[in-house]
Every structure is written in C-alpha cells, then in structure tokens.
Amino acid sequence: MSNSTKYVFVTGGVTSSLGKGIISASLAKLLQARGYSITIQKLDPYINIDPGTLNPYEHGECFVTDDGAETDLDLGHYERFLNVPTSQANNVTTGKIYQSVIEKERRGDFLGKTVQVIPHITDEIKERIQILGNKGVYDIVITEIGGTVGDIESLPYIEAVRQMKWEFEQDCIVVHLTLVPYLAAAGELKTKPTQHSVKQLLEMGVQPDILCCRTEHELDLTLRRKIAKFCNVNMNAVIESRDAESIYDVPLLMQAEELDKVVLEKLGLPTKLTPDLGSWKEFLDRLKNPEFQVTIGLVGKYVELKDSYKSISESLIHAGVANKTKVIVRWIHSEKVTKENLDESMEGLDGILVAPGFGSRGISGKIDAVRYARENKVPFFGICLGMQCAVVEFARNVLNLKEAHTTEISDRCKDPVIDIMAEQKEISEMGGTMRLGSYQCQLTPGSNISEAYHIDKISERHRHRYEFNNNYLEQFENSGMKATGKNPETGLVEVVEIKDHPWFVGTQFHPEYKSTVAKPHPLFTAFISAVLKNSK
C-alpha cells in the first residue's frame, strides 16, 4: 500500500534528555528549507490527558497552541524552528488515546468485541499519527515518540510504528537517537549502549533506518563502521550529533552530516534542491556576534528548573538577535525576594520580567519586583500573572488600596482588582478548562504596545482564569495605568501600561508562545530595544 504523505519516526534509546525534540525540529528545518511542507508531532507515553495539569517541576513549561491545546514544551521548539503553528493534533498522550478508546467502547463502537491494547490502542495511535498526514497539507510528518525505548509505557507506540512500517513500507522510516558515551578511564567512546538499544528495538520488530549518535567527541570512521555493522544500518546513516553551543546550531550540524539527504533518499524523495538556510545562518551570525549586552531579571517561582520558562528565555534570545544584543538572564526566585533585600536582588538589572504562574507561593516577591521596576524606572514586562501582579502593585501603592489583591490568592479581599472571569465561576474541573488559545486584542494607538506591533488589532494566546476587574478601570486610568489593549468583544483588559516610565507593559496573554527564529516577537523585541535605550 502506498501513502502520499511520508512519515519519519524519531525514537530515543539509552537515556532520556538526548534532545529528540531538537533533532526532530532540526531535521524538519532542513527538509522545510528544501521546499517540503513539514509538521512535527509528539507522542507522550504518560497517562495525563495533557501536561496542563502538570506541575512545571515535573515536565517544564506547558506550551499553548492557537487552538488552545496545552502541550509538551517540544511543540515550542517545533514552532520556533519551523515558524509554522502546531495544533491539538500535534501532541497526543496515552491518556488521550485511552480516553478516546474507552469513549468508543461505551458508545458500543466495538460491537461486542474484547477491547485490547493490540489492535484497539495501537489502531488509535496509528489514526492519531495519520490525522496530520491525511490533511493533504504535509509532504512529511515527523513523529517524535517520547520516553526511551524499553520503557513499559512506550511499548504500544513502538508497536504502532512497527505496524505502520509494515503497512506503508515505502513511506515510513525510523530515526533512532542514542548515546555514545565517553569513558574517561578508558579514554574511549563506547558503542555498546547503542548496540543494546538497537537490539531492544529489534526485539520489538523495528529496525531503525538511521542512527543519530549523541556524543561529546568526534565519531571517527572506525566507530561509524562498527555501529553500522552491529546495528544493520548503512555507513552514511550513522549520524554524529555533537554537543552544540546553541540549539540553533543543530540544523547546520545535521546538514553537515547530511541527515536530511539520507532521510530523503530512504523515503524515495528527490534530493536535488539544496536547502536554503540563508536567513537561519544570518540569525546565527547575529546571535554569535552581538554588539551590545543587557541583563534581564526573570522573576518566577520555578527558576530552579529553567525549562519551566523555555518559551520566555528563547523569546529573549530572539529579541536579543533582533537588537544585536546578548541578553543575559538573571534567574530570580520570587520566593526569595523580600522588601528587605529588594534593592540588592534587583541591583544591576537593565530590565525586569515578571513571569506567569499560579497560586500564592512567591507572589509577594513578584509584587515587590514590580514595585522596584515602577519606582526605579527600570523597563518592565509582566506576562499573565506578571501583569496581574503589576495591577495589584499599582492598586496598593499608587491608588492606596492597601488590601487590593487577586481573588486567586485572597478570595474575599476588600479590593479584588484581579477577579475570576464570569465564565470560570462554575467550573470545578481542572483539566483544559482555562481560557485557552488565541483571542483578538484591540490596541490603543500611540501606546507602547501598538508601537511594538505597528498594527492595532492582534491575536495572541492565553492561559488563565482571572482577569482585570473593570469596575476599577477608571480609577487606574485616572492615576496613570492605562488599559492599552482590550478584547474587542468582551472588553477584557489584555494590556496595561504606565505612561510616565521608560517602558512598562503587562499583558494578560502570552506573547512568548509566538516568537520564532524567523519572526522574533515584536513585543519582546520592543522590550529589549527599550532596555537598550534606557541603559545607554
């Protein structure tokens, strides 16, 4: 049987954290640069329906798509590399697979049959993989399988890959990412873990077509030959994947190893067109040769695990490149910021960014950080909870509403300047029930934000339950905090700004989800530009 869309499966062996997401995104970038239409999908073997209910310490940031999916942070890499939006279909978990099969069983769709992992769960997995392929939009779908080969949880996924390889022999290949560790005592790179992980795949009936070998040292010809021979792959399909200075170097490293060419050959697709990576190289050149340098304080409560703020830190890198500036991030734990150590904690910062978040832990440190930025005229950017903290701080210290708060933290406070949205009041379930995904926002001409975007109507992604309480709007505006962005239908305040300040912007939406290498986000770019201007 033939299928017009081609499928590339990316699996991982030996250990987790080898960077399957970056390899998938880099391969996709190279194929896209040759003119192919590509999407990348992540299959996650955990039982949560989505990562929306996961603590960031468990799994890093929760990425949000335009259509409101709460997804794995790898989707952020896919979008940043490809500059193409992902959607609900791009992230599937075991929870979603089982939920759907069980719903079908309850509807009676299986006509009295016993419902089993094979074929019912594997069929559902195969269907989810092909949803993207069947759209008729993509030449190639890259499907990254989360976890490590050999995990009990990922067995049904590997079985689904085996079946698809069997059914669509000409159209499916497997790229297996492994580790070739360096043993200092022996002074050697070791291939045995790679051999073992390929054996494990073979036991499950899957022969990988290409091996990407993560290594800290050069993989010489002897090693490549050895790996090829023991793992039944061609010599040119043993790809060295060396540690890189920046994740944005990886597409070029993979190009040097001809990963894209080998993939296309194995899929029977033409390799004639050379990839056009001109603008990517320009980005890298600017990244590596900055003219200026600034330090931004990122105030949040999950700073021990930097992956919790992945999209924000990548957006700062993109905005730095747009401004020929190296952006150094100082990670500031909001729980450790107090009134007493405020000056010390914020010393030397050129700009302050207060991060999104949930719950009371670390909130007073965030509010104090806003106060410092406002009073000392340090450029300030507040995102979601960061914007809400800016509103609470202004209410307390400028409007003199000393008991002002968000009802998320203090549900009976005297001045609920941030309050739960009406449509959220009756919701008791946690998963997927926030205000999620893209909504439009009308900007006030002449504001910092409209100057950043150069247009007056924008669309940005959301993930929140609380909002600015419009009963207080007049009071805020009369005292200098303006609502410069609103949802045109509901009047929900999306953006607040202070005029008498070098740059003070808070957004209810999350601009960080839309910054890419090809299109650094205008708001982050404007923030860094204001920081530069202010620090000169």
Provide the 3-class DSSP secondary structure of residue 507.
strand
Longest dimension (CA), the chain: 75
In the complex, least distance from residue 391 CB atom to ligand GLN, rounded to whole angstroms = 11
Determine the 3-state secondary structure of 342 from DSSP: helix
Closest by CA to 73, choosing from 248, 299, 311, is 311
Nearer to ligand GLN, 24 or 315 (CB): 315
From the centroid of its chain, how far is CA 437? 14
Map tokens 């939406």 to a residue: 509
Q: Where are the alpha helices (DSSP H) in 289-362?
A: 310-322, 342-346
Has 384 been annotated as catalytic? Answer: yes
Residue 262 · residue 295 · CB < 8 Å: no
Using the minimum distance from each CB to ligand GLN, give the nearer residue, 138 or 380: 380
Residue 510 bears catalytic tag: yes
Q: Which residues bind ligand GLN (CB under 6 A)?
A: 356-358, 384-385, 408, 463-466
Q: How far is the CB of 359 from ligand GLN (least distance, A)?
A: 7
Whole-angstrom Cα distance, residue 60 to residue 51? 9
Minimal distance in Å, beta carbon 109 to ligand GLN? Answer: 37
> Which residue in 56, 53, 61, 66 sits closest to 93, CA to CA?
53
Task: Give me the catalytic one of 384, 389, 405, 501.
Answer: 384
- Cα 280 to the chain's mean position, in Å? 19
Please name the residue that has the structure tokens 């069929």: 123
Residue pair 41/71 in contact (Cβ under 8 Å)? The answer is: no
Bridge partners (DSSP) listed for residue 154? none
Using the minimum distance from each CB to ligand GLN, give the nearer residue, 73 or 125. Answer: 73
CB-wise, 212 or 384, nearer to ligand GLN? 384
Alpha-carbon dihedral sign for residues 326, 331, 334, 339: negative
Take residue 438 and report the two structure tokens written for it: 């893209």
Q: What is the nearest approach in angstroms of ligand GLN to the Cβ of residue 358?
A: 4
Tokens at residue 337, please?
């910021």
State in Å, rounded, how far the first CA of the chain is from the last one.
Answer: 64
Rounded distance, CA 230 to CA 295, Å?
49
Structure tokens at 192: 């045995």
The nearest distance, CB 396 to ligand GLN, in angstroms, is 18
Q: Which of 77, 405, 510, 521 is catalytic?
A: 510
Complex with ligand GLN: residue 8 or 385, whichever CB lies closer: 385
DSSP characters for 98-129?
HHHHHHHHHHTTTTTPPP-IIIIIHHHHHHHH
Question: Residue 186 or residue 430: which is nearer to ligand GLN going by CB?
Answer: 430
CB closer to ligand GLN out of 466 and 472: 466
Residues tagged active-site: 384, 510, 512
